[in-house]
Structure 1
Amino acid sequence: MASHVFHSDHPPLAPVTEPVHSYVLAGAAARGDHPALIDATDGTTFGYARLDHLSRRLAAGLAAAGLGKGDVLALHSPNSALFPVVCYAAWRCGAAVTTVHPLATAEEFATQLADSGARRIVTVAALLDTARDAARRAGGITEILVGDRADGHRSVLDLADTTAPEPDVDLDPAADLAVLPYSSGTTGTPKGVMLTHRSVATNLAQLDAFLSGGPDDRVLAVLPFFHMYGLTALMNAPLRTGATVVVLPRFDLEQFLDALQRYRVTAVYAAPPMVLALAKHPLVDRYDLSSLKYLVCAAAPLDAALADACARRLGLKAVLQAYGMTELSPASHLVPPGADAPPGTVGRLLPGTEMRLVSLTTGADLPPGEDGEIVLRGPQVMKGYLGRPEATDALIDADGWLHTGDIGRIDADGWLYVVDRVKELIKYKGYQVAPADLEALLLAHDDIADAAVIGVTDTDGNEIPKAYVVRRPGAALGADDVLTYVAGRVAPYKRVRRVEFTDTVPRAVTGKILRRELRARERSSTAR
């Protein structure tokens, strides 16, 4: 069997063997008052020396409160200037940070708390009710802290006002966890992704070959820091190079455009819905966006024509794409700014990363020009799924190759194109939605006999969850009943958006849902 292993154009890269906070903040104190973080909602600014000092003082406060090596801190917050401070402080204590979606329900949050073994939560006043409810459900939480102010809860700002010594922790970057985000992987329910200090820091070094940044750069952080894409591209990478990160808590087009103009932003990292707005919304014409040097889109598939329309409107050569997954810390491919890249490509291999394209029918390695499953190996691959060795082994084989579940093709010049998915995961506006989670919820309804969920495309080009539902005999169940039932039990991004009633759900003899048949049915109905 011929072996086709594709390698990066760049020289091999030695893994980074220092903790993430040391690697990112190495030059912070010397940068003095140069702005590191600006909250675009109220103008709050942290200079680099203050960021460094505050993270060290908060580490001292957290350590004095009992946070130590091997512990897990749950960070439940929208983007803010304090989000990075909490991360770096927790890492200085030797703790891992499990990032929680701000829109998670109490039940979803509690499941993550229990699975991760977190004992402390940092949240914000607006989300306190959910955090308290989650803590009650999960048990074992010793304290809920806030990043702002709330009666009855200590603020991280108060904790940082301490004379306690900074913790002196002996970290093993190759083994000790920095981040424990939750991902559905290629299928199933969310699992804790064990990302070590070495894998996260090394991925930053890998990105250096493609993205050169510095103090003159201003990066707009509107994609969530809790997602590994945001944590790497919008927090750690720019702060390591001395750039200024302009922080927004969520994507509101007018606020986003105002921040772009006001702060003369040079770089934006986006998801496809943002690219759609920038390409088509009339509001864009009212703003001076001439400072923008490049825009990178990742997290979900991007239509090449939409990317081209956005680039032309913004006066850019192209909208750049990237590829990766949480389990890759998260990046494996990127289109370098200024590269003469063909339309639709998600980029080239980062240094130190190897790739194979594997036939779904024969398991053989495929040459350039043929479609196969994207299989990757490199120092950025996760340590594994927390407490789930079987799920880890199903994703990463004995030789260290991670099977992504995406179908891709590489051209003769080394550009990768993602053409389809074998994995079941739905990417709604960049957020992961596991069909199995929604199916389990639907099957708990008394009037539903069977159900299946697939991703379909809406009129804006977004992938959305659609449920195929089999009613129990005699049940008077309508589509609105199903939509309301699901909406009351999951975070907004997980909601079922369409319902179709059917007599049967196609299944294999093993009971596995045959989603490809449902996708084919969907294609034939939309083609009419």
Structure 2
Amino acid sequence: MAETTSINPQNGFCPQTRTYHSLRPAVPLPPPSQPLSIFQYALSLLHSSSSALSTTPFLIEAATARHLTYSAFLRHVSSLSASLKPLLSQNDVAFILSPPSLHIPVLYFSLLSLGAVVSPSSPLSSPSDLSHQISLSRPAIIFATADSTNKLPQIDVPIIILDSPLFLSMLQCESASHSSLVAAAVVDQSAAAAILYSSGTTGRVKGVVLTHRNLIALVAGMYHNKLGEDEVESAPHPVSILTVPLFHVFGFFMLIRAAALGESVVLMERFDFVKMLEAVERYKVTYMPVTPPLVVAMAKSDLVDGFDVSSLQALGCGGAPLGKEVSERFRQKFPHVEILQGYGLTESTGGATRTMGPDEAKRHGSAGRLSENMEAKIVDPETGEALAPTQRGELWLRGPSIMKGYAGDDAATAAALDSQGWLRTGDLCYFDQDGFLFIVDRLKELIKYKAYQVPPAELEHLLQSIPEIADAAVVPYPDEEAGEIPMAYVVRKAGSNVSAAEIMDYIGKQVAPYKKIRRLAFIDSIPKSPAGKILRRDLQRHALSKL
């Protein structure tokens, strides 16, 4: 007889398969064989959810109040697509290096409509970071601002300057018509839509390949769950402000989500706390995707009291766990604002679990329940056994938003994805009896600085290249504002008197600002296992004992 399976309706756990299932209603997705780009899918949802495209602002520049209505945005996309079509073939990668502006969403959507692959990088990336990313993604074209081109490696690829008259003319192409939007490229859902950069356990940045299907699955879940929340006709028009960068998976999918739902998005070229508060007041922002340090700042800063932030209804908090004390302090100050926490990785298109509604938001410390169409396992890292609720192990995820793989790195792809489609997250977690996920620790040795991933191995390699240093290790050190900061333990060579300030200054010039070493201690020797692996836990305990 075939074994029957039963899923616990309280937590989604199936004891026969040892798999957790989403408790959310399943969301219908288009058949995988149907050609459909995320651009076409988002456009179909937009037309069904918003009739006032000519008057509804989609993009608003916080500093200048310049804006694009949905109609103007789509005209720009159509025009740019007509201009770029002769320069690009389907599946060509477009590398993008720019701070946020009204042009970037137009560029993203134009490239997606053509079936090209969007690959944005942080403007703060160092030249060596950019060289590595470009070697992974192998772009056919590069878009950059005039002041960032000097960081790019010398390669034989056309570069279009985003703040040049040429690019501005591409947005006003006379040969483009609105009808060309309908004739967007025929794109397989399994085709790559984006390559976003994320650090792995090896300390080298990886290019995460996300497909159109990945993005469709994520947006579909948010769209269908949003329908139930919009029953109150008097609710204000949703306005979000993107405090997270557009090159980061969080900002990337929040932008696409907003477009699909017909919402307005306020963009800031550079994050500034006071300017953010001004924008919330000025544009009546209702929703902000944030990282925990921003929640801390809002809960603690007296500056907030000088602004009218009464329009805020919810914060979507991700990137790192949010502490119970911070949550409670925030709720005391802003009782009308919900904090909705979530968990995801670049490798899961930014989504995996989230809280929904006020009752789930009260689960302090939890990253929420499994998202729609998502499955999970908690696997013992030593035995490989799949574990039941309340037991701790590595979180594995499977679902339609899980990445295709890593660009140009088959070995890393094989290490992260098994033959059945399970993604090993490297995070130590457990589900409670009600199906809420709790992140305990990271099996990966990454430091989360303000939601940026900082690989210790990369910093250790740089430290060990300094002649006066005999050995070094880097560990996370708790910090209320940043979550964690990189702390270095350094063994000086005999006779050397190099100072902590000199070392930190040297490293600071080699890396992006978020990777800087912000604390350093000298030590006689780095504790290691018999196999030579750094015993980071010992160093972390040492650091905490001095706290």
1:361-510 maps to which residues of 2 (within 5 A)?
A: 361-460=382-481, 462-510=483-531
Distance of 2:40 and 2:378 partners within structure 1: 36
Where does residue 52 of structure 1 map in the other structure? 74
Equivalent-residue separation in structure 2 for 1:517 and 1:21 (angstroms)? 49
* Contact 2:449–2:482 under 8 Å retained in 1: no
Q: Residue 459 of structure 1: CA displacement? A: 4.7
Select between 35-44 and 358-367 the one with higher mean Cα deviation. Answer: 358-367
Deviation at 1:464, TM superposition (A): 0.4
Q: Determine the structure 1 residue equivalent to 2:381.
A: 360
Superposed CA offset, 1:252-275 (max 9, x none): 111011111111111111011110
2:204 counterpart residue number? 189
Bigger Cα displacement from structure 2, 484-493 vs 73-82: 73-82
Q: What TM-score do the two structures reach when normalised by structure 2? A: 0.89
SS in 1 for 2:343: strand
Structure 1 position 75, deviation (Å): 1.4
Give the direction of change, closer, same or farther, for the CA distance of 1:187–1:203 in structure 2 (3 Å limit): farther
2:24 maps to: 10
1:142 aligns with 2:158: yes
Moved more, 211-220 or 475-484: 211-220
* TM superposition shift of 1:14: 4.3
In structure 1, the residue matched to 2:10 is none
Corresponding residue number in structure 2 for 1:263: 283
Q: Deviations over 1:283-342 (max 9, x none)?
A: 111111111111111011211110221122122364221000000011011111333442
Q: Identity across aligned pairs (percent)?
A: 35
Q: Show CA shifts across 1:74-105 (max 9, x none).
A: 11122222211000111122210111001112
1:324 pairs with 2:344: yes
State the partner residue of 1:161: 172
- Kept in 2, the 8 Å contact 1:276–1:306? The answer is yes
Match for residue 371 of structure 2? 350
User: Where does the alignment leave 5 or more consecutive residues of structure 2 unmatched?
Assistant: 1-14, 231-235
- Other structure's SS at 1:367 match: coil
| Contact kept? 2:377, 2:395, Cα under 8 Å | yes
In 1, Cα distance between equivalents of 2:388 and 2:225: 25
- Contact residue 328 and residue 380 of structure 1 kept, 8 A: yes
Residue 133 (structure 1) aligns with: 151
Gaps of 5+ in 1: none
One-letter amino acid of the counterpart of residue 116, structure 2: A
Amino acid at match of 2:38: V
Kept after mapping to 2: 8 A contact 1:58/1:157: no
State the partner residue of 1:173.
189
- Is residue 2:139 matched to residue 1:118? yes
Q: How does 1:56-135 map to 2 (within 5 A)?
A: 56-64=78-86, 66-125=87-146, 128=147, 130-135=148-153
Q: Which residue in the other structure is 2:330 paired with?
A: 310
Distance, in Å, in 2 between the alignment partners of 1:158 and 1:117 is 27
Name the residue aligned to 1:204. Answer: 219
Q: CA deviation at 1:361?
A: 3.5
- Partners in 1 of 2:408 and 2:536 — Cα distance? 28
Aligned partners of 2:342 and 2:354 also within 8 Å: yes
Greater alpha carbon shift after TM alignment, 199-208 vs 23-32: 23-32
Name 2:6's counterpart in structure 1: none
Pick closer, same or farther for the CA change 1:210–1:322 going to 2, 3 Å.
Answer: farther
Taking the aligned partners of 2:480 and 2:263, their CA distance within structure 1 comes to 37
Any conservation in 2 of the 1:207–1:350 contact (CA below 8 Å)? no
- Deviation track 1:85-135 (CA, whole Å, cap 9, x = no partner) reads 00011112221011100111222122212221113222224xx2x323313
Q: In structure 2, do the counterparts of structure 1 residues 288 and 272 end up closer, same or farther at CA, with 3 Å as the change threshold?
A: same
Cα root mean square deviation, aligned: 2.0
- Higher mean Cα deviation, 511-520 or 408-417? 511-520
* Matched length: 513
Q: Give the match for residue 337 of structure 1.
A: 357
Deviates more, 1:490-499 or 1:208-217: 208-217
How far apart are the structure 2 equivalents of 1:236 and 1:391? 28
Distance 2:347 2:480 in 1: 31
The residue identity in structure 2 corresponding to 1:161 is: Q
**Contact 1:21-1:88 at 8 Å conserved across structures:** yes
The residue number in structure 1 matching 2:11 is none
The 3-state SS of whatever aligns with 2:359 is coil
Question: What is the identity, as a one-letter code, of the residue corresponding to 2:150?
Answer: R
